């Protein structure tokens, strides 16, 4: 049967693999050759084997390529899964850290609030105890003081207008009025204003119980000059200047050429050379200061400094805080 006859005689079949088709063709070629008058030679057989080898190699390469692609796909899928897992763990860790930070912040705020509340309660309790102690002390002092003492000088007479306007520190409606006569060169006056007056002011003046009237009683010309300077500054700055000069008394009152020292300190309060000279040579002002002293000496029998009148009662035992407490308590019930 010829090759053509075999092709005609073969029934049609379904599609087959490329390598199987080629192999079949090789076999048919071999058969065709064997049916011819030519004896099959070694070349045809070698060609068939070579073709089969190539087909097998191609099939093996295709199988390896498919396996490689499948392995790559599996590896990519594994890596993607690992990346998603890592991302999920990272997100979970961040969320846990955020929740932990929020919890710590809430705990810190709660602790701070409790601490503030505790401190506030302690402060209120301390204030209440202080107020209670002060009330007990005031009651005890008032009870011990008994009735108000008789004034040495009637208060209306003591407060009558003098040659110069009074400088007043404190509430004008305070129930107790204290008149102080002092000299700016008096060391006892300076001691009182540095050591006792701050507490006295806080206890009585700042609380509206006492108003203080400061009157000049100069013991020498230098004291009169300082009083003039205080007056020249006006009532608003009067007490600040008096306090400063008492605090620094040892600097400007040495007994040796004191006026230039006083002038240097006065410049810090705003005086110039001209305004300083004009103030300390103001004869009318000096006469008023001297007249204030004369009235205190002749009418109220002031013979030393400092001298205090508490609602007209002359403070005779001293000028410590306890001395003031004893007399003031008699007027504050």
Q: Fill in the DSSP letter of residue 189.
A: H
Q: Is residue 306 part of a domain?
A: yes
Residues in Cβ contact with 229 at an 8 Å cutoff, skipping those fewer than 6 apart: 241, 262, 266, 269, 271, 276, 279, 280
Q: Is residue 126 part of a domain?
A: no
Q: Is residue 136 part of a domain?
A: no
In terms of domains, do 216 and 321 share one?
A: yes
In terms of domains, do 322 and 175 share one?
A: yes
- The residue written with tokens 């003046």 in the block is 205
In terms of domains, do 168 and 315 share one?
A: yes
How far is the C-alpha of 38 from the C-alpha of 148, rounded, in Å? 164
Give the burial string for 172-196 (b: 16+ CB within 10 Å, else e): eebebbbbbbbbbbbeebbebbeeb
Q: How far is CA 106 from CA 96, 99, 103, 109, 110, in A?
A: 15, 10, 5, 5, 6
First to last CA, the chain: 152
Q: Is residue 270 part of a domain?
A: yes
Q: Map residue 219 onto helix, strand or coil.
A: coil
Q: Give the β-pairing of 210-216 and 313-314.
A: unpaired
In terms of domains, do 175 and 291 share one?
A: yes
Residue at a domain's end among 61, 80, 99: 80
Q: Is the dihedral of CA 302, 307, 311, 313 positive or negative?
A: negative
In terms of domains, do 283 and 178 share one?
A: yes
Q: Is residue 176 part of a domain?
A: yes
The structure tokens listed for 150 are 């008789």
Laid out side by side, the sheet with 167-169 consists of 167-169, 210-216, 176-182, 307-310, 313-314
> Helix, strand, coil: what percent of the chain each, to 5?
70, 5, 25
How far is the C-alpha of 181 from the C-alpha of 247, rounded, in Å? 17
Task: List phi, psi (to 5°) of 249.
Answer: -55, -40
Task: List phi, psi (to 5°) of 171.
Answer: -70, 125
The structure tokens listed for 316 are 């005779």
The structure tokens listed for 67 are 């396996």
Query: Where residue 220 sits, what CATH number does that domain have?
Result: 3.40.30.10
In terms of domains, do 160 and 37 share one?
A: no
> Each residue's pLDDT tens digit in the chain (333 positions)?
444 454 444 444 444 555 455 444 444 444 444 444 444 455 666 767 777 778 777 777 777 877 778 877 787 777 877 778 767 787 666 777 767 767 676 666 766 667 666 566 555 655 544 444 444 344 444 444 457 899 999 999 999 999 999 999 999 999 999 999 999 999 999 999 999 999 999 999 999 999 999 999 999 999 999 999 999 999 999 999 999 999 999 999 998 889 999 999 999 999 999 999 999 999 999 999 999 999 999 999 999 999 999 999 999 989 999 999 999 999 997
Q: Is residue 140 part of a domain?
A: no
Residue at a domain's end among 51, 80, 109: 80
Cα 242–247–253 angle (5° rounding)?
90
The total number of structural domains in the chain stands at: 2
Count CB neighbours of 233 within 10 A: 18
How far is the C-alpha of 326 from the C-alpha of 312, rounded, in Å? 15
Segments forming the whole domain that contains residue 24: 3-80
Q: Is residue 101 part of a domain?
A: no
In terms of domains, do 75 and 159 share one?
A: no
In terms of domains, do 184 and 306 share one?
A: yes
Q: What is the pTM of this model?
A: 0.58
Residue 51: per-residue pLDDT: 75
Task: List phi, psi (to 5°) of 239.
Answer: -70, -35
In terms of domains, do 316 and 214 share one?
A: yes
Q: Is residue 105 part of a domain?
A: no
Residue at a domain's end among 25, 50, 80: 80
């Amino acid at each position: 049967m010829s090759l053509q006859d075999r092709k005609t005689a073969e029934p049609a079949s379904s599609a087959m693999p490329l390598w199987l088709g080629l192999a079949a063709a090789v076999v048919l070629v071999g058969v065709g050759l064997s049916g011819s008058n030519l004896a099959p030679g070694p070349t045809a057989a070698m060609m068939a084997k070579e073709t089969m080898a190539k087909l097998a190699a191609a099939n093996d390469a295709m199988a390896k390529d498919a396996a490689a692609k499948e392995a790559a796909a599996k590896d990519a899928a594994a890596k993607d899964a690992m990346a998603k897992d890592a991302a999920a763990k990272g997100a979970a860790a961040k969320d846990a850290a955020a929740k932990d930070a929020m919890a710590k912040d809430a705990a810190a705020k709660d602790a701070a609030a409790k601490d503030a509340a505790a401190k506030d309660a302690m402060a209120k309790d301390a204030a209440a105890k202080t107020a209670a102690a002060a009330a007990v002390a005031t009651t005890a002092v008032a009870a011990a003081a008994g009735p108000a003492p008789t004034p040495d000088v009637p208060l209306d007479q003591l407060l009558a207008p003098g040659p110069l306007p009074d400088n007043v520190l404190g509430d004008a409606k305070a129930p107790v009025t204290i008149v102080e006569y002092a000299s700016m060169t008096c060391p006892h006056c300076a001691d009182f204003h540095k050591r006792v007056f701050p507490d006295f002011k806080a206890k009585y003046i700042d609380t509206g119980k006492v108003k203080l009237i400061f009157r000049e009683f100069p013991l020498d010309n230098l004291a009169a000059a300082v009083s003039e300077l205080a007056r020249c500054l006006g009532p608003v700055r009067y007490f600040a200047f008096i306090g400063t000069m008492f605090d620094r008394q040892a600097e400007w009152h040495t007994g040796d050429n004191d006026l230039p020292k006083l002038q240097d300190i006065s410049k810090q309060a705003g005086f110039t050379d001209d305004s300083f000279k004009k103030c300390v040579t103001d004869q009318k002002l000096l006469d008023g200061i001297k007249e204030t002293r004369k009235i205190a000496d002749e009418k109220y029998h002031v013979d030393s400094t400092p001298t205090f009148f508490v609602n007209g009662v002359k403070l005779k035992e001293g000028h410590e805080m306890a001395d003031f407490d004893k007399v003031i308590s008699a007027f504050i019930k």
